[in-house]
Amino acid sequence: MGKLFSIFYLVKLNYKKNPMHLFYTPDIASDIYTLEEQESKHCIRVLRLKIGDEITLTDGIGNMYFSKIIEAHPKRCTVEVVEVKKGYGKRSFTIHIAVAPTKNIARTEWFIEKATEIGIDKITPLICEHSERKTTKTERLAKVVTSAVKQSLKAYHPVMNNSIDFKKFIEQKFEGEKFIAYCSDEYRGSLKNIYRKGEDALILIGPEGDFSPAEVDLAIKHGFMPVSLGHSRLRTETAALYACCVVNLRNEG
């Protein structure tokens, strides 16, 4: 415990000493780049940065652009890229979680934010038989992803897919391990024991009313393996985040 605290303390000190201001710039294409007006205002007015200060840009596909400000204008802050690191934080596996959006959309947004911070590659809102929410605003959810990317200093921007019907989704091809988690008294192996380190993972998480028996049977017929997420009955967003954590933790070390 003491060693863990010491590591945490050193990391915290290092972050304060070398803060990184990260901006999401998917359209960056040259060594000179001008931030959009809203980001320029945040950079100059809110962060109070000036000419010569360092900021970092990411295109969301693995590249980090370490840059310095050459024009500190609140409407058109311009930077010069001084170093590019490719494949920054690249992992050997991917996580795709298809989860039924909750009736209270704030819970889904919470999951999206935390999963992005921890590490996820794709999120798909899944419309099921028992879904209480049948629609989602993809643009709004994508903004939650972007904000979490910047906060957690990620070089990869997770894909936020449009909502899709359960039956259509499970018919899509996926190269990797496929799981469906649901509530049941029948024995199912635990995700943390069944998932194999290094494999791409697709995990289905149902709505508050869970998947219907017909949906479970259909998923199994399409190659999804039924798994347990433990003995507790979890909320939809908690189950989705738990699954995300399990796959990430299995791949540590």
Residues 6+ apart with CB under 8 A from 229: 181, 190, 191, 239, 242, 243, 246
The separation between CA 104 and the C-alpha centre of its own chain, rounded to angstroms, equals 20
Is residue 101 a contact partner of residue 133, using CB atoms and an 8 Å limit? Answer: yes
Please give the chain's pLDDT, 253 residues, in tens: 444 444 444 444 443 444 589 999 999 999 999 999 999 999 999 999 999 999 999 999 999 999 999 999 999 999 999 999 999 999 999 999 999 999 999 999 999 999 999 999 999 999 999 999 999 999 999 999 999 999 999 999 999 999 999 999 999 999 999 999 998 777 789 999 999 999 999 999 999 999 999 999 999 999 999 999 988 889 999 999 999 999 999 999 6
* E runs forming strands in 121-176: 122-127, 159-160, 164-165
The yes-or-no answer to whether 2-85 and 95-250 have a common fold is no
For residue 176 the two structure tokens come to 């990797």
Q: What is the pTM of this model?
A: 0.88
In order of 25, 83, 157, 174, the CA distances from 160 in angstroms are 17, 29, 9, 17
Is residue 202 a contact partner of residue 214, using CB atoms and an 8 Å limit? Answer: no
Could you tell me the residue ranges of all domains in the chain? 2-85, 95-250
How far apart are alpha carbons 89 and 66 in whole angstroms?
A: 15
Helix or strand or coil: residue 24? Answer: strand
Span 2-85: which CATH code?
Answer: 2.40.240.20
Span 95-250: which CATH code?
Answer: 3.40.1280.10
- Please state whether beta strands 164-165 and 122-127 pair in parallel, antiparallel, or not at all (unpaired): parallel
Compute the half-sphere exposure of residue 241: CA atoms within 13 Å on the CB side of its CA: 17
Q: Would you state the pLDDT for residue 57?
A: 97
Q: Would you state the pLDDT for residue 253?
A: 65
For 217, the enclosing helix (H) or strand (E) is helix 213-221
Nearest alpha-carbon partner for 218 in 134, 143, 126, 133: 126
| Percent of residues in the chain assigned helix, strand, coil, to nearest 5 | 35, 25, 40
Nearest alpha-carbon partner for 82 in 64, 61, 68: 68
Is residue 203 a contact partner of residue 177, using CB atoms and an 8 Å limit? Answer: no
